């Protein structure tokens, strides 16, 4: 009987458990979970504060999940060392766990730069975990002002989550626009306007250089008073365990198409892993939930002796703020087809006879047809792209595609 050990208990771990069990119903699976709780949907912590979900509904898998899959979870334990020769993992409790196949699914941790005086700030929170959200929730009240550092996905989702529950929110970011890693200036300003309508204020191209108690001194010379400080400036892949064990690491743990690391019998998946973005050919950490699950699943299948590869990974995101949704996928290079209207932008990027990426704000019905064209590398001259670029639909994909997809099992 094989012994599988998974470090971490997020989406990648769940994917791995389901992947392993699709091949091997017998082997023992042990999950080492630093967080002391059943797996929950991490992106839902902002919806929790918004009252759109609760702790029970935000469980990523049913309560019986571990039992159903014969998984032993060691809650509240962290892996501190991996011995790849002896094939064992050492925990913070001093215990050792032996493995035949090991998966690092330990995600990323927030990164907080060493701002001068940050230790003088009493009410300071990160926004990554359920316990972060619960701690923050205790401090929320309508007379309080909040400063959020970071106008990326996490900072803005936090802003949306607490907007109704605090007096004032200011968001600052060193970048000149919101969501700078996924949006260009035009698209970003559309999203920013939507957030501003809810009273959220922005200080862009600006950051705190010093803190003193409840005050932030900004690079621009401005001073911002706050009751609550939320730091969401960035995350870093948790690579140290594997790096110390000798695995190749860049920003993330380097993996191949099977999610295997450079070390024998050790795999990595999710936010801690680095893999090839098929739309740009570059290796990167793509920290998104769907990929975390799929990489975990792929790793699990391979760990259990099955065969699966991922050769079509790409960055993609669907995020909404106060009802305005923004979808993005792939790489923004090549020729751009644009449509624009009130509260609406569509941008499709094509190059070398392929759809490479897109941004859709405001209207997004059937967007997955575009995503599939990127993922499948559909040659544009094999479809009626003139029709497709206006309306994502299946008819312009051609008769044989329709017959296969609508007349058979897919």
Partner 1 sequence: MKRVYVNEKWCLGCRLCEYNCAYANSGDTDMVRALRGKKINPNIVVEEYGDINFAVSCRHCADPICVKSCISGALSKEDGMIKVDHDKCVGCLTCVLVCPYGCIKEGEHGAVSKCELCLENSCGEPACVKGCPNRAIVFEDRG
Ligand X SMILES: Cc1cc2nc3c(=O)[nH]c(=O)nc-3n(C[C@H](O)[C@H](O)[C@H](O)COP(=O)(O)OP(=O)(O)OC[C@H]3O[C@@H](n4cnc5c(N)ncnc54)[C@H](O)[C@@H]3O)c2cc1C
Residues 267-296 that bind partner 1 (CB under 8 A): 289-290, 293-294
19 makes contact, choosing from partner 1, ligand X, none, with CB < 5 to 8 Å by partner type, with none
Which DSSP category does 253 fall into?
Answer: E
CB-count exposure of residue 199 (10 Å: 0-12, 13-18, 19+): exposed
Least spacing, CB of residue 312 vs partner 1, in Å: 11
Applying CB under 6 A, does 356 fall inside the site for ligand X? no
Q: Are 267 and 255 in contact (CB under 8 A)?
A: yes
- Give every CB contact of residue 100 below 8 A, 6+ residues apart in sequence: 2, 3, 4, 87, 265
Applying CB under 6 A, does 59 fall inside the site for ligand X? no
Least spacing, CB of residue 58 vs partner 1, in Å: 7
Nearest CA-CA partner of 124 in 234, 227, 218, 233: 227
372 makes contact, choosing from ligand X, partner 1, none, with CB < 5 to 8 Å by partner type, with partner 1
- Phi–psi pair at 116, nearest 5 degrees: -60, 130
Site string for partner 1, 11-40 (x = CB under 8 A): ----x-------------------------
**Out of 270, 357, 392, 396, the residue judged to bind ligand X by CB under 6 A:** 270
Least spacing, CB of residue 386 vs partner 1, in Å: 12
Applying CB under 6 A, does 329 fall inside the site for ligand X? no
**Out of 60, 66, 202, 385, the residue judged to bind partner 1 by CB under 8 A:** 60
Length of the chain: 410
Least spacing, CB of residue 282 vs ligand X, in Å: 18
Q: Which residue intervals of 215-333 are DSSP H helices? A: 240-244, 289-303
User: Within 10 Å of residue 382's Cβ, how many Cβ atoms?
Assistant: 12
Helix (H, G, I), strand (E, B) or coil at 401: helix
Least spacing, CB of residue 321 vs partner 1, in Å: 11
**Out of 48, 79, 191, 329, the residue judged to bind ligand X by CB under 6 A:** 79
Applying CB under 8 A, does 57 fall inside the site for partner 1? yes
**Out of 368, 377, 380, 383, the residue judged to bind partner 1 by CB under 8 A:** 368
Applying CB under 6 A, does 78 fall inside the site for ligand X? yes
**Out of 6, 8, 58, 149, the residue judged to bind ligand X by CB under 6 A:** 8
Distance in angstroms (rounded) separating the CA atoms of residues 19 and 25: 10
Alpha-carbon dihedral angle through residues 285, 263, 7, 314, given to the nearest 10 degrees: 20
Applying CB under 8 A, does 400 fall inside the site for partner 1? no
Distances (CA, A) of 315 to 58, 199, 330, 342: 24, 30, 6, 27
Residues 228-257 that bind ligand X (CB under 6 A): 238, 241
Q: Are 17 and 25 in contact (CB under 8 A)?
A: no
Structure-token pair, residue 91: 């925990």
Binding site for partner 1 (CB under 8 A): 15, 41, 43-44, 47, 52-53, 57-61, 289-290, 293-294, 297, 316-320, 325, 327, 329, 364-369, 371-372, 375-376, 387, 392-396, 402, 405-410
């Amino acid at each position: 009987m094989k012994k599988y050990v998974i470090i971490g208990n997020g989406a990648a771990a769940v994917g791995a458990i389901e992947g392993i069990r699709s091949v091997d119903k017998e082997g023992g699976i042990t999950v080492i979970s630093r967080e002391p709780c059943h797996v929950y949907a991490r992106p839902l912590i902002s919806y929790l504060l918004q009252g759109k979900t609760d702790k029970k509904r935000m469980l990523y898998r049913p309560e019986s999940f571990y039992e159903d899959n014969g998984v032993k979870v060691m809650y509240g334990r962290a892996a501190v060392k991996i011995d790849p020769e002896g094939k064992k993992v050492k925990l913070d409790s001093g215990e050792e766990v032996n493995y035949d196949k090991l998966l690092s699914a330990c995600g990323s941790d927030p990164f907080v730069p060493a701002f001068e005086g940050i230790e003088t700030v009493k009410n300071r929170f990160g926004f990554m975990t359920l316990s972060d959200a619960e701690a923050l929730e205790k401090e929320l009240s309508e007379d309080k002002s909040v400063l959020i550092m970071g106008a990326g996905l996490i900072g803005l989702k936090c802003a949306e989550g607490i907007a109704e529950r605090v007096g004032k929110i200011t968001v600052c970011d060193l970048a000149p626009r919101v969501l700078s890693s996924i949006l260009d200036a035009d698209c970003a300003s559309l999203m920013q306007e939507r957030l501003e309508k809810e009273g959220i204020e922005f200080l862009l191209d600006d950051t705190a250089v010093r803190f003193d108690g409840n005050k932030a001194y900004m690079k621009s010379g401005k001073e911002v008073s706050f009751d609550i400080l939320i730091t969401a400036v960035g995350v870093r892949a948790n690579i140290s365990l594997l790096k110390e064990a000798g695995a190749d690491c860049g920003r993330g743990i380097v993996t191949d198409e099977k999610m295997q690391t450079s070390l024998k019998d050790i795999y990595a998946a999710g936010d801690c892993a680095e893999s090839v973005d098929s739309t740009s050919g570059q290796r990167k950490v793509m920290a998104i939930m769907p990929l975390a699950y799929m990489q975990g699943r792929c790793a699990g299948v391979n760990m259990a002796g099955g065969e699966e590869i991922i050769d079509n990974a790409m960055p993609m995101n669907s995020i909404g703020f106060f009802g305005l949704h923004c979808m993005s996928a792939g790489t923004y290079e090549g020729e751009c087809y644009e449509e624009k209207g009130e509260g609406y932008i569509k941008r499709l990027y094509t190059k070398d006879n392929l759809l490479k990426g897109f941004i859709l704000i405001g209207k997004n019905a059937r967007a997955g047809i575009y995503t599939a064209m990127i993922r499948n590398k559909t040659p544009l001259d094999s479809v009626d792209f003139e029709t497709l670029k206006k309306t994502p639909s299946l008819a312009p994909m051609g008769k044989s595609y329709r017959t296969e997809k609508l007349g058979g099992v897919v």
